[in-house]
């Protein structure tokens, strides 16, 4: 049964103008293309071996040309750097290795000048154990910060439960000799959790939010959202969650900046996902956007199996989100690909296809690789994967370096394998830094199929057939189709050859039809049933030039091929 266009909210229709939902211009994040990066591995401007804000400013034109509309910056604050910046010692500052607060304000100005918004990581589930708050808290039971953290005077019975980094983390409660008490840390031992039951902590988090919004950021990626709202106590393996804090945070952020956005990281059971949205823009509204971890696992499984069945299920099972609620889709991020929500058998299939060596796996649940090497550096499959991600419902998030097909360095420990410097050119250190190689924050990948000598921005910019040029075209095409991010996304439920996913995006701006062939064989797809809806259907993006679309009843599709077909446009 075919699904038609979804009813859209509050449509106004003035003669001669575009038809848009009233609130669409506020919901900029539904039309965004988000690019995430670590400043310290992106571009070094002063030759000290560490990427910096000025280096990033120099690369904004590159990002603008790529079509990026929003940057998500991994933690920018002062840090001992034991968890790549996710261990913060000052929420109001900028890590001196990457620049100053003045540089950051200039970055916001320069990005704004190019129509690029900036969101930053808000890492407030925990601090570094070197944060002045924790130092004070552990120093005395009378410290004003003592109750900012979660303590137990006696050894908690569940202290070896709930670790996020098995293999690297042994417990969630550690004894602090100075404090003479046990403190809770959901992540590493050096990341004590803040106590969200304490109103003073909540107020402080809001002050941090105000500070950065005032400076001009467009919102936050809320790190570890489920753990922030957990009201942890010793001996309680399933602490209650206080979702009201998310409402407080949203209201606060939006009072300060009406279009501020909260994008949460919450890799939780499907049934709990909608809880993070609350009632959207209503009195109990919570976050605006949620990373779609469930889809991520299924996407990877579908690619491994060359079978879209899991994606069809994902589209069917997608819970309805409240107004303004949005998914953020991704294939790769800065962490391992988390396969923990797949069954053991499914996870095994993905491991066999994409992480055959033990060394490619991490934490017993994931893969520490970039996408290009996972897909055997097969250009057809890389395009297919990204065309698919960008065509599915939600806002696409892309990680730096994926647009040129960078690889990983498995000689580096843990997640560092996928956190190597950006490869700009064939200059020494791939143009990332003029420092001696031994001074670099992390080695640049050199030699072989993924070394900077072969994979770099400069070479790909000059080549209209490069992956980078393809990404630019694909993103431009997406920007012409706002129904993809903001409209409905449905499976086209008609018989198609094995391996093929047919789906559509409908919105006030029209309708796009998508065909993706996850299988390796050439096929012909009959979508003649949609002919009645089509007005001059035509390919707007495809893996190759195909015969004109015609009446949709005999659409050819190569192995690993894809076609984005506009079937209707409301102008």
Which residue in 40, 193, 223, 292 binds ligand NOJ (CB under 6 A)?
Answer: 223
In the bound complex, what is the minimum distance in angstroms from residue 95's beta carbon to ligand NOJ?
Answer: 15
In the bound complex, what is the minimum distance in angstroms from residue 164's beta carbon to ligand NOJ?
Answer: 7
- 123/557 with CB nearer ligand NOJ: 123
In the bound complex, what is the minimum distance in angstroms from residue 82's beta carbon to ligand NOJ?
Answer: 10
Which residue in 224, 513, 523, 549 binds ligand NOJ (CB under 6 A)?
Answer: 224
The 3-class secondary structure across 249-284, one letter per residue, is HHHHHHHHCCCCEEEECCCCCHHHHHHHCECCCCCC
Q: Which of residues 354-373 bind ligand NOJ (CB under 6 A)?
A: none
Whether 491 and 515 have beta carbons less than 8 Å apart is answered as no
Check 40, 44, 95, 265 and give the catalytic one: 265
> How are beta strands 261-264 and 219-222 bridged, if at all?
parallel
Give counts: helices (H), strands (E), the chain.
Answer: 15, 23
| Closest alpha carbon to 270 in 332, 239, 227, 313 | 313
Q: Which of residues 226-285 bind ligand NOJ (CB under 6 A)?
A: 265
Q: How many CB atoms neighbour CB 482 within 10 A?
A: 20
Number of residues forming the site for ligand NOJ (CB under 6 A): 9
- 44/83 with CB nearer ligand NOJ: 83
| Closest alpha carbon to 406 in 355, 344, 467 | 467
Whether 393 and 328 have beta carbons less than 8 Å apart is answered as no
Which residue in 187, 327, 351, 450 binds ligand NOJ (CB under 6 A)?
Answer: 187
223 is a catalytic site residue: yes
Which residue in 36, 123, 302, 417 binds ligand NOJ (CB under 6 A)?
Answer: 123
Query: What are the φ/ψ torsions at residue 363 (nearest 5 degrees)?
Result: 55, 20
What percent helix, strand, coil does the chain show, rounded to 5?
30, 20, 50
Which residue in 42, 72, 86, 514 binds ligand NOJ (CB under 6 A)?
Answer: 86
87 is a catalytic site residue: no
- 185/381 with CB nearer ligand NOJ: 185
Whether 175 and 129 have beta carbons less than 8 Å apart is answered as no
> How are beta strands 488-491 and 500-507 bridged, if at all?
antiparallel
Looking at residue 375, the DSSP 8-state letter turns out to be T
- 265/383 with CB nearer ligand NOJ: 265
Which residue in 335, 526, 533, 539 binds ligand NOJ (CB under 6 A)?
Answer: 335
Query: What are the φ/ψ torsions at residue 461 (nearest 5 degrees)?
Result: -65, -35
Check 223, 292, 338, 506 and give the catalytic one: 223
In the bound complex, what is the minimum distance in angstroms from residue 131's beta carbon to ligand NOJ?
Answer: 13
Q: Does 292 bind ligand NOJ (CB under 6 A)?
A: no
Which residue in 83, 95, 403, 472 binds ligand NOJ (CB under 6 A)?
Answer: 83
- 52/265 with CB nearer ligand NOJ: 265
Whether 292 and 330 have beta carbons less than 8 Å apart is answered as yes
Give me the sign of the Cα torsion angle 49, 58, 223, 295: negative
Closest residue to ligand NOJ: CB criterion: 86
In the bound complex, what is the minimum distance in angstroms from residue 67's beta carbon to ligand NOJ?
Answer: 25
Measured CA to CA in angstroms, residue 363 lies from 106, 114, 313, 372, 482 at distances of 39, 40, 27, 22, 38
In the bound complex, what is the minimum distance in angstroms from residue 156's beta carbon to ligand NOJ?
Answer: 21
Q: Does 290 bind ligand NOJ (CB under 6 A)?
A: no
- 36/500 with CB nearer ligand NOJ: 36
Residue positions annotated with a catalytic role? 223, 265
Interface residues with ligand NOJ (CB under 6 A) are 83, 86, 123, 187, 223-224, 265, 334-335
């Amino acid at each position: 049964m075919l699904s038609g266009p979804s009813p859209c909210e509050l449509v106004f229709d003035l003669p001669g103008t575009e038809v848009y939902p009233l609130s669409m211009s506020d919901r900029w994040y539904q039309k965004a293309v988000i690019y995430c990066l670590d400043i310290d591995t992106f571009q070094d401007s002063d030759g000290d071996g560490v990427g910096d804000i000025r280096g990033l400013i120099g690369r904004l034109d590159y990002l603008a040309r790529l079509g990026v509309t929003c940057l998500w910056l991994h933690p920018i604050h002062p840090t001992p750097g034991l968890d790549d910046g996710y261990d913060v010692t000052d929420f109001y500052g900028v890590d001196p290795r990457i620049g100053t607060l003045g540089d950051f304000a200039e970055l916001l100005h320069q990005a704004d000048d190019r129509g690029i918004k900036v969101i930053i990581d808000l890492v407030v589930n925990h601090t570094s154990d070197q944060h002045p708050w924790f130092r004070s808290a552990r120093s005395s039971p009378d410290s004003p910060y003592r109750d900012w953290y979660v303590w137990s005077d006696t050894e908690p019975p569940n202290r070896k439960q709930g670790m996020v980094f098995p293999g690297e983390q042994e417990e969630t409660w550690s004894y602090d000799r100075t404090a003479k008490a046990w403190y809770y840390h959901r992540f590493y031992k050096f990341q004590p959790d803040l106590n969200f039951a304490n109103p003073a902590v909540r107020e402080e988090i809001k002050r941090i939010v105000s500070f950065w919004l005032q400076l001009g950021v467009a919102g936050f990626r809320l790190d570890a959202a489920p753990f922030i709202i957990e009201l942890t106590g010793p001996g309680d393996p399933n602490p209650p969650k206080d979702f009201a804090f998310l409402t407080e945070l949203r209201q606060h952020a939006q009072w300060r900046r009406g279009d501020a956005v909260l994008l949460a990281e919450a890799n939780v059971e499907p049934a709990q996902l909608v809880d993070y949205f609350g009632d959207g823009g209503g009195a109990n509204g919570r976050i605006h956007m949620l990373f779609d971890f469930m889809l991520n696992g299924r996407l990877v499984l579908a690619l491994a199996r060359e079978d879209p069945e899991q994606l069809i299920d994902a589209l069917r099972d997608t819970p309805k989100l409240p107004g303004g609620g949005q998914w953020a889709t991704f294939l790769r991020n800065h962490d391992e690909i988390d396969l923990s929500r797949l069954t053991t058998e499914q996870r095994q299939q993905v491991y066999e296809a994409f992480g055959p060596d033990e060394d490619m796996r991490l934490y017993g649940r994931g893969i520490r690789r970039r996408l290009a090497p996972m897909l055997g550096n097969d250009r057809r499959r890389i395009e297919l994967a990204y065309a698919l991600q960008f065509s599915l419902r939600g806002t696409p998030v892309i990680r730096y370096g994926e647009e040129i097909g960078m690889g990983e360095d498995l000689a580096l420990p843990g997640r560092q394998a996928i956190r190597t410097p950006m490869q700009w050119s064939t200059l020494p250190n791939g143009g990332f830094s003029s420092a001696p190689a031994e001074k670099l924050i992390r080695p640049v990948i050199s030699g072989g199929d993924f070394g900077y000598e072969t994979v770099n921005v400069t070479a790909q910019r000059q080549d209209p057939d490069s992956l980078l040029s393809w990404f630019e075209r694909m993103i431009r095409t997406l920007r012409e189709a706002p129904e993809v991010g903001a409209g409905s996304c449905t499976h086209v439920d008609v018989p198609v050859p094995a391996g093929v996913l047919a789906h559509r995006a409908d919105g006030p701006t029209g309708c796009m039809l998508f065909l993706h062939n996850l299988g390796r064989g050439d096929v012909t797809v009959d979508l003649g049933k949609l002919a009645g809806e089509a007005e001059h259907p035509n390919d707007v993006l495809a893996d190759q030039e195909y015969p004109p679309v015609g009446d949709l009843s005999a659409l050819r599709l190569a192995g690993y091929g894809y076609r984005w077909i506009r079937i209707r446009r409301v102008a």
